[in-house]
Amino acid sequence: MTPILFVTDLDHTLVGDDFAHEQLNEWLLEARSIGGKVVYSTGRSRIRYQELALEAPLFDPDLLIASVGTAIYSSLDGAPDPEWQKKLTAGWDRDRVMAITAHFADLVLQPETEQSAFKVSFLLTEEAAIELLPQLDHLLKQQGLDVQLIYSSGRDLDLLPRYANKGSALTFVRQTLGFPPENTIVCGDSGNDIALFAAGSELGIIVGNAQPELLSWHRDHPTPNHYLAKSHCAAGILEGLQYFGFR
Ligand code: GLC
Ligand code: MG
């Protein structure tokens, strides 16, 4: 078997079905023993990742991509990759972004742990999002701010530098670790994972419990590289690995 780079979202993708997760862990550890790498790519900050790691059967990954692609950790207690941090500064003015979002009463700031130098995150209802997102996008552009708006699960709105998302972080990590896209598998369930699937020709597994925004993106971008599983969470990943002939 060729060494595989395995990049997966956590909440509602790898995490959510402990029995299937533990079964998948066996496959992942075996893949790692022959040169594969396991990378977790989560919307959570590192602190909230560590909370999850206490509850779920997660082993330490080779790399952690945290905060929706805005921080890459090669060690769970070290500093984020400085080369990556540097790339994110281009065109990003956090204070001005904050000032503009203050005009919208429907935007409710997420907890302090989920705010960082390169990520501003809010809670936003699905009903309010319909009108608010185009207005906010327009206002940011009008002010000359090149910001990415990522809305996930009908609840979470992330404002990120143009260059940062789970997809660009995946490409950076894949190239750093030296894996070609065809030996890379990505897995996800929601809006912030769209960038993982859109990054290039990597193989992708969308779990059966995926959110509407990812399902509709998948319908609009059909490719034999992506598999939509019937099973949920880790069981869906196991199903996808079987579909692609990895197990
Ligand atoms: C995680 C993060 C949150 C983010 C969401 C969607 O839940 O904690 O800050 O908004 O993922 O990316
Ligand atoms: Mg998720």
The pLDDT of residue 70: 98
Mean pLDDT computed over 96-117:
97
Write the pLDDT tens digit of every residue in 187-202: 999 999 999 999 999 9
Are the beta carbons of 240 and 228 closer than 8 angstroms? Answer: no
Distance 169 CA to ligand 1 centre (A): 16
Distance separating alpha carbons of residues 37 and 247, to the nearest angstrom: 17
Which ligand 1 atom is at minimum distance from the Cα of 150?
12
Decide if pLDDT at 1 tops 90.
no
> Across the chain, which distance is largest between two alpha carbons, in Å?
54
Domains of the chain, earliest start first: 5-86+164-243 (3.40.50.1000), 89-161 (3.90.1070.10)
Distance separating alpha carbons of residues 74 and 67, to the nearest angstrom: 14
Residue 9 CB less than 6 A away from ligand 1? no
- Token digits of residue 110: 């997420």
**Mean of the per-residue pLDDT values of the chain:** 97
**CB neighbours of residue 108 within 10 Å:** 12
Are the beta carbons of 226 and 197 closer than 8 angstroms? Answer: yes
Distance separating alpha carbons of residues 148 and 90, to the nearest angstrom: 13
What angle, rounded to 10 degrees, do the helices at 18-33 and 233-243 form?
Answer: 40
Residue 48 CB less than 6 A away from ligand 1? yes
Distance separating alpha carbons of residues 11 and 45, to the nearest angstrom: 13
The pLDDT of residue 83: 97
- Rg (alpha carbons) of the chain, rounded to whole number: 18
What residue spans of the chain are helical by DSSP H? 18-33, 46-55, 82-88, 94-101, 126-142, 166-177, 194-198, 212-220, 233-243
H or E element that contains 122: strand 120-123
> Nearest residue CA, atom 4 of ligand 1?
43
Residue type, 46: R
119, 158, 166, 194: residue to mutate for ligand 1 pocket, most atoms within 8 A of CB? 158
- Token digits of residue 9: 């979202």
Residue 129 CB less than 6 A away from ligand 1? no
Confidence of residue 231 (pLDDT cuts 50, 70, 90): very high
Instruction: List, in order, residues 6 or more apart from 213 with CB less than 8 Å away.
Output: 151, 152, 153, 190, 191, 194
> Nearest residue CA, atom 1 of ligand 1?
43
